[in-house]
Structure 1
Amino acid sequence: MQIAKLLKYCGAILALTGAASAHAGGWPDHPITFIVPYTPATGIDLIARQLAPPLAKALGQPIVVENIPGASGNIGSERVARSKPDGYTFMVQVCTLVMNHGLYKNLPYDPVKDFAPVSLTSWGTLVLVEPASRPWKTTQDLIAAARKTPGKLTYASPGVGTPHHLSMALFDQQAGIDMLHVPYKGSAGAVTDLLSGQVDAMFLPVHVALPLIKSGKLRALATGSPKRLQQLPDVPTLTEAGIKEGNVDMWYGVLAPKGTPKAIIDRMNKEIGLALRSPAIAKSFEAQGMEPASSTPAEFHALIAKDDQRWRTLIEKAHISAQ
């Protein structure tokens, strides 16, 4: 009797193991969806559409890119958080995923707990710039001027809670200064007023700032990256300029719903890493101010958790909230 029960138990275990193996081995057997929580033609959308063809070829199934914009990415992110964790729904995101955690009081998902990080895809650098007509030649010059007239110097952003805004708020905090934030509804108006001298400074993505710097319309004071940029070798990093928490690079990456099988996460991680080695993808990313970069799922998870804590602490101290 005991032997019969043991054989029955072992048979059940083997059946479950076989089913799991068959499931992992059979994935994918129908199209995969990449959700982009923003509008088409954004940097995040470009990443998804550049990665889709090589991933589809490697996995043997189409990759469908679906844009679900709204509420600063929260609508699409919530959709992914609540999706079935079966390996057929992924999300391409940017660091605003964790910034929103501090900005919105009733966020319907937790960026650290409700997703399974798959891999980084790239980094984007912000450059601290000012109108060329301003007298300040260095970051320390700007800081000194801001200290003399607290609340008088201004900085622009595409809106409250954007990476441009929060990076400048972090700069303010780290430098011990008080500059006045002037939020705009998008980048176009902010850049226009920056160029005309209506505002004193701004963080801009490197691909937007570079032609304006080279034409002499803007002056680059510092880069928000951990090392100097190849495109701007004479421009120091914020850390070199004396800002302790000077790395404000924006990360981009792919995530899945929490509970997605590890075998699927690992396979997708591997294929993303291989796709990012393509010279064509590197060139396309560079045109958008992004540098291809992959990671392990564990490394990406650690980055998300660290960034979540950093930005929530800043947002709380600076009393910033979504509008």
Structure 2
Amino acid sequence: MQSNANLSSARRVSGPLRRQLLQWGAASLAAACLPAAAQAPAAAAPMRLIVPFTPGTGIDLIARTLGPRLSERLARPVVVDNRPGASGNIGTEAVVRAAPNGQTLLVSVNTLVMNRSLYPQLPFDPVKDLVPVALTSWGQLLLVTHAQTGFRSAGDLLAAARARPGRLNYASPGVGTPHHLSMELLKQTAGVFLTHIPYRGSAQAVTDLVAGQVDAMFLPIHVALPQVRGGKLVALAIGSARRHPLLPDLPTLAEARAGSVDVDMWYGIFAPTGTPADQVTRLNREINELLGTAEVRAAFQTQGMDPATGTPDEFRRLVERDADRWARLIRAQGIKAE
């Protein structure tokens, strides 16, 4: 009855005020006719999963695989929001600046902690200004070369690099990427020098590597595997602590006597600092359960990622250790973001 009275009052006025009253009255009547479940409370506001890189990446796949399933479990919409740019810093800052109410999360990779040292003038701290929610997966990097080099092991590559300092080169998708810093870590550990050839993305780098324009590269296993199986690239070692089921005969860098170098990439989900602990705990629990399902494991494995779980505190310790490790390398090698 109150809505009808408002509509009657609207007839006695004219112009913009009348239109506003009519719109308000119509909206009120429509809301009154909705079932209770359709009148979403604030708690059911959409959750945004911000991906700081372009669609189609492994990080994007994580968000788009978990998003719909998380929506079902939380009974709220979940939207994937790609915010690429500045090596992931644009999307990361959007989450850092978001309200700590559980409505905005970051899906990222260990590039996050590398950026902390590569970009010391950032207006935020990607470690201190984010709360680790859940580790989602690990990705492996293969050390590969083109078929014409004649190298058959990581030891062959390093021996050639020692014999001809600076004559060999390696590609990466850009300064500060895991591919780049992984090779710099190998160089530092083995005491060799290879010239860095940075590209703008992986596609052209892989094309030039296959063509023999560059000598070596670290590549994610799902990117390298088709080229290796096709005979266009030679896998020299895997940058992990253990061998991978997809390439059980390929040794680790340590087994190849190239140094104890583990450059696995972690992926995970973060929230703004100040997010209530109970929300972080619930999100961690729901995500861990999703990661244990067969369909999520299968989706991840198409991108060469192995699902992983743990508590928020365990993930926090991993992030802090990794931030320190890459900071030491970046300082020692004098690496600067371009």
Normalising by structure 1, report the TM-score. Answer: 0.90
Residue 47 of structure 1 and its aligned partner are, at CA, apart by: 0.5
Please name the residue that 2:227 is paired with: 212
Residue 84 of structure 1 and its aligned partner are, at CA, apart by: 1.0
Q: Counterpart amino acid of 1:170?
A: L
Give the match's secondary structure for 1:91: strand
Q: Confirm or deny that 1:281 pairs with 2:299.
A: no
Q: Distance in 1 between matches of 2:42 and 2:269?
A: 18
Residue 189 of structure 1 and its aligned partner are, at CA, apart by: 1.2
Residue 28 of structure 1 and its aligned partner are, at CA, apart by: 3.5
8 Å Cα contact 2:172-2:205 kept in structure 1 = yes
Q: Distance in 2 between matches of 1:30 and 1:189?
A: 41
Please name the residue that 2:205 is paired with: 190
Residue 159 of structure 1 and its aligned partner are, at CA, apart by: 0.9
Give the match's secondary structure for 2:256: coil
Let me know the Cα RMSD of the aligned residues: 1.2
Please name the residue that 2:324 is paired with: 309
8 Å Cα contact 1:222-1:238 kept in structure 2 = yes
Q: Distance in 1 between matches of 2:61 and 2:134?
A: 16
Q: Distance in 2 between matches of 1:69 and 1:258?
A: 21
Q: Confirm or deny that 1:167 pairs with 2:182.
A: yes
Please name the residue that 1:119 is paired with: 134
Please name the residue that 1:54 is paired with: 69
2:270 pairs, out of 255, 258, 261, with 255
8 Å Cα contact 1:122-1:292 kept in structure 2 = yes
Q: Distance in 1 between matches of 2:297 and 2:133?
A: 19
8 Å Cα contact 1:28-1:60 kept in structure 2 = no
Give the match's secondary structure for 2:271: strand
Q: Distance in 2 between matches of 1:307 and 1:243?
A: 21
Q: Distance in 2 between matches of 1:28 and 1:172?
A: 50
CA deviations over 1:83-123 (Å, ceiling 9, x no partner): 11111111101100001111112112212211110011111
Q: Distance in 1 between matches of 2:206 and 2:252?
A: 22
8 Å Cα contact 2:170-2:216 kept in structure 1 = yes
Q: Distance in 2 between matches of 1:127 and 1:108?
A: 34
Q: Distance in 2 between matches of 1:147 and 1:186?
A: 28
Give the match's secondary structure for 2:188: helix
8 Å Cα contact 2:144-2:219 kept in structure 1 = yes
Q: Counterpart amino acid of 2:56?
A: A
- Over 6 Å off, 4+ runs: none
Residue 245 of structure 1 and its aligned partner are, at CA, apart by: 4.0
Residue 27 of structure 1 and its aligned partner are, at CA, apart by: 8.3
Structure 1, 105-114 or 246-255: larger mean CA deviation: 105-114
CA deviations over 1:29-57 (Å, ceiling 9, x no partner): 32211111111121111111100111111
CA deviations over 1:171-206 (Å, ceiling 9, x no partner): 100010000111111111111111111111100110
Q: Distance in 2 between matches of 1:37 and 1:188?
A: 19
Q: Distance in 2 between matches of 1:39 and 1:80?
A: 16
The answer for unaligned runs of 5 or more in structure 2 is 1-40
1:237 pairs, out of 235, 238, 252, with 252
Please name the residue that 1:21 is paired with: none
How many residues are aligned here? 298
CA deviations over 1:207-263 (Å, ceiling 9, x no partner): 011111111111111001111010111110112223444110111000000111110
8 Å Cα contact 1:150-1:178 kept in structure 2 = yes
| Cα distance change on mapping 1:27 and 1:260 into 2, 3 Å | farther
Q: Percentage identity across aligned positions? A: 56
Residue 69 of structure 1 and its aligned partner are, at CA, apart by: 1.2
8 Å Cα contact 1:171-1:246 kept in structure 2 = yes
Q: Distance in 2 between matches of 1:211 and 1:84?
A: 43
8 Å Cα contact 2:137-2:268 kept in structure 1 = yes
Larger Rg: 2
Q: Distance in 1 between matches of 2:234 and 2:184?
A: 20
Q: Distance in 2 between matches of 1:61 and 1:36?
A: 19
Structure 1, 257-266 or 132-141: larger mean CA deviation: 132-141
8 Å Cα contact 2:155-2:258 kept in structure 1 = no
Q: Counterpart amino acid of 1:176?
A: G
Please name the residue that 1:96 is paired with: 111
Give the match's secondary structure for 2:148: coil
Q: Distance in 2 between matches of 1:295 and 1:243?
A: 30
Give the match's secondary structure for 1:49: helix
Please name the residue that 1:146 is paired with: 161
Please name the residue that 2:242 is paired with: 227
8 Å Cα contact 1:164-1:204 kept in structure 2 = yes
Structure 1, 281-290 or 160-169: larger mean CA deviation: 281-290
Q: Confirm or deny that 1:131 pairs with 2:149.
A: no
| Cα distance change on mapping 1:55 and 1:280 into 2, 3 Å | same
8 Å Cα contact 1:28-1:59 kept in structure 2 = no
